[in-house]
Structure 1
Amino acid sequence: MKKIFITGIIVIAALAGIMYVLKKNKKENEAQTAVVAQKNAAVAVRIAEAGIKDVNTVYVTNGTFVPKQEVKLSSEVAGRVARVLVDEGDYVKVGQTLAIIVGDKQNVSVNNAQAVYDNAKNEVARFESAFATGGVTKQQLDQMKLQLENAKNNLRSSQITASDVNVKASFAGIVNKRSIEPGSYVSPGNEMFEIVNVSSLKLKVNVDEKNIGFVKLGQNIKVQSAVLANKTFQGKVTFIAPKADGSLNFPVELEISNNAANDLKAGMYGTAYFGDDQTAQALVVPRDAFVGSVSSNQVFVVKDGKAVLTKVTAGRVFGDQVEIISGIESGAQVITTGQINLLDGTAVEIIK
């Protein structure tokens, strides 16, 4: 009995010791967890300092060259192609005949109209003689003169239609495409030739809202093409869109005079350099500092260990740097990564 009592005391003491150790470990774990939770409450971010830097003031944008003049010539009459006088790649002048279509029906119409006109003219002469002697009335003479006028107009219309058998160039350029061969049958509206004029081209580019204010009509712009690395061309601003597109970019057109060898081709990519190749000092921050995009004009600034959402006014874009006109000062710590996890006032931990 005594042994049983002693054994019970030992078991109780052991259980009490175990309970004490467990309780002590729990307090230590809770303390460690609190420390970890406090650490995890701060969002890890990277920062950059806003600073005054020398930046290149040139704004660069790319576009595609298109011909200033381009036309697809179609047949205006039905018939068989008798002769094709030009090939693809040929240079043609204004009014040059490109192809001849057999116009037998048109020639027959001209002959018939000519006969009707000649007859009406003779009839008017006969009626005028008869009117002088009282053989016809003034009304009859006027009706005959009206018939002569109608016959004259019909003759002119037939002559115009007959002249359409000669397909001519409407402007000087190069035959880019020929869709007919001798013996082909064409109907009105069938495409026959594509003529392009590359002596002068247009470069269509987009300029963002931050830089459109520096672009003026008539402004001379340096233009280059990657495939013609050693050659520079001069472009002139001929159009500035009054309205931005969905991306807040403004379409701008430049007119460029090609060189004598017509090295620039329609469809090439071109680069336009707006502004002088000079440097200037500006307060800038990395593009990555902006919440969402540059157009949001919002950045997070670190103050007293917290992220403060700050409204700024963005200016020109210089590659991966953006000019700041107002909102922050030089030396401000702007957050460049981790913004997706931030709210205004969130505690942050700066990592390198």
Structure 2
Amino acid sequence: MKRIITIIIVVVVALGAIAYVLSNNKKKNEEKTAFIAKGGGAVAVRVATVEKKVVDLDFVANGNFIPKQELNFLSENAGRVKAIYVDEGSRVSKGQILARVDAEIINTDRETAEATYQNALKDQARYQSSFETGGVTQQQLDQAKLSTQNAKLRLQASQRRVSDANIKSPINGIVNKRYIEVGAFVTAQGTQLFELVDVSKLKLKVNVNESQVASLKIGDNIDIKSSVFPNEKFSGKITFIAAKADATLNFPIEIEVSNNTKNSLKAGMYGTAIFNFPKQAPSILIPRTSFVGSVSSNQVFMLDKSNNTSKIRNVVTGRILGDNVEILDGLKEGETVITSGQINLANGTAVSVVK
């Protein structure tokens, strides 16, 4: 019984939805009929006067600051941390020692490699002397030289490991995080030691639309503002413009920003990029809806006021500026372009302007 009641309810709801859709479509058709009726038998259209306007290209975009350099510093040698010389928040310079790993085992390996290399040098000298008197062959001498070279390479590698026992900063920056403590054991597979960031320069990442990105190029100087420091002035330079739009049809832009002497700006803060452009000469602009089909058609219908008919016109388009399109050729100031109703028009169709 419950199943039958459920089915009846579903059917009633479905019929109600169908009735609503049909009623809505009827209302839309009546509106269209009334709109056309206003033209007294002619096709009802809306129009706009062709005029020159000053194009304002200036705009702003908001984004987040990120460090220009950010490094998760990993260990290269295995050993126990013997000393740490910096803490979180410490400023460090390139080459500065941050920590030290116990190098006892590493030193032993280096001493062994040193002894092996010295022994190989002596063997090579003996083989060289014997070769000159005919005691050994050229092949035996070459083998001795190869052994010496291999021993030298092993010694250099062990010396590098001894040097790496002093963990040095590869960049200038700030210790943002410290992951180790004295006594901790680190592995040669890459234990995370420090997170280093350089905020002397940052990058502001913003998104711009297609009409805005067309006016930008790499190297452009951009004014930057921060809501946290409203009285501070910062400047930046565009270093990256995406060649492809993202999922929202916007183009990611990166602006390199120089921090002030106090490094007031922090990574993660919000920033505003102010894009200022030279004053533009007035251009002929018409609504984007004026075009037959789409802007790429390069065709519009004009209103012939002498007999109230439509006339097709070919034009040359320029920039798309929001809801307007720049016209480079084909239109003059004072002419009237049709902005709606083109689907019902042909060349010479009688029209009636609806305000």
Aligned to 1:100: 100
Q: Secondary structure at the match of 1:210?
A: helix
TM-score, with length taken from structure 2: 0.67
User: How far 1:90 moved relative to its partner?
Assistant: 1.5
2:231 matched to 1:230? yes
Aligned to 2:160: 160
Deviations, residues 96-118 of structure 1 (Å, cap 9, x unaligned): 11111123222221121112112
Deviations, residues 187-222 of structure 1 (Å, cap 9, x unaligned): 222221111112122223333332333223322222
Q: Secondary structure at the match of 1:111?
A: helix
Question: In structure 2, what residue type is equivalent to 1:190?
Answer: T
CA contact (8 A) 1:314 1:322 kept: no
2:213 matched to 1:209? no
Change (3 A) 1:323 1:93: same
Question: In structure 1, what residue type is equivalent to 2:197?
Answer: V
User: How far 1:73 moved relative to its partner?
Assistant: 0.6
**1:320-335 alignment runs, 5 A limit:** 322-325=324-327
User: How far 1:166 moved relative to its partner?
Assistant: 1.8
CA contact (8 A) 1:211 1:316 kept: no
Aligned to 1:272: 274
- Whole-Å separation in 2 of the counterparts to 1:287 and 1:69: 44
Aligned to 2:196: 195
Change (3 A) 1:294 1:63: farther
**1:248-263 alignment runs, 5 A limit:** 248-263=249-264
Deviations, residues 61-93 of structure 1 (Å, cap 9, x unaligned): 333322222211101122221111111221111
Change (3 A) 1:185 1:301: farther
Deviations, residues 246-275 of structure 1 (Å, cap 9, x unaligned): 544433332222221122222233323141
Aligned to 2:73: 73
CA contact (8 A) 2:222 2:275 kept: yes
Task: Tell me which protein shows more strand as a share of its residues.
Answer: 1
**1:307-322 alignment runs, 5 A limit:** 315=319, 317=321, 322=324
Question: In structure 1, what residue type is equivalent to 2:221?
Answer: N
Question: In structure 2, what residue type is equivalent to 1:185?
Answer: F
Structure 2 gaps, min length 5? 1-29, 39-44, 346-350
Change (3 A) 1:106 1:348: farther
**1:1-352 alignment runs, 5 A limit:** 39=34, 52-54=52-54, 56-187=56-187, 188-267=189-268, 268-276=270-278, 278=279, 281-282=282-283, 315=319, 317=321, 322-325=324-327, 344-345=343-344
Change (3 A) 1:55 1:131: closer
User: How far 1:295 moved relative to its partner?
Assistant: 10
Question: In structure 1, what residue type is equivalent to 2:203?
Answer: K
User: How far 1:350 moved relative to its partner?
Assistant: 6.9
% of aligned pairs identical?
44
- Whole-Å separation in 2 of the counterparts to 1:186 and 1:257: 36
Q: Secondary structure at the match of 1:126?
A: helix
Of stretches 192-201 and 142-151 in structure 1, the one that deviates more from structure 2 is 142-151
Aligned to 1:15: none
Q: Secondary structure at the match of 1:228?
A: coil
Aligned residues: 309
CA contact (8 A) 1:239 1:254 kept: yes
Mark the structure with the bigger radius of gyration. 1
TM-score, with length taken from structure 1: 0.68
User: How far 1:57 moved relative to its partner?
Assistant: 3.1
- Whole-Å separation in 1 of the counterparts to 2:111 and 2:282: 80
Q: Secondary structure at the match of 2:171?
A: coil
Change (3 A) 1:301 1:95: farther
Question: In structure 2, what residue type is equivalent to 1:180?
Answer: I
- Whole-Å separation in 2 of the counterparts to 1:299 and 1:89: 64
Change (3 A) 1:329 1:206: farther
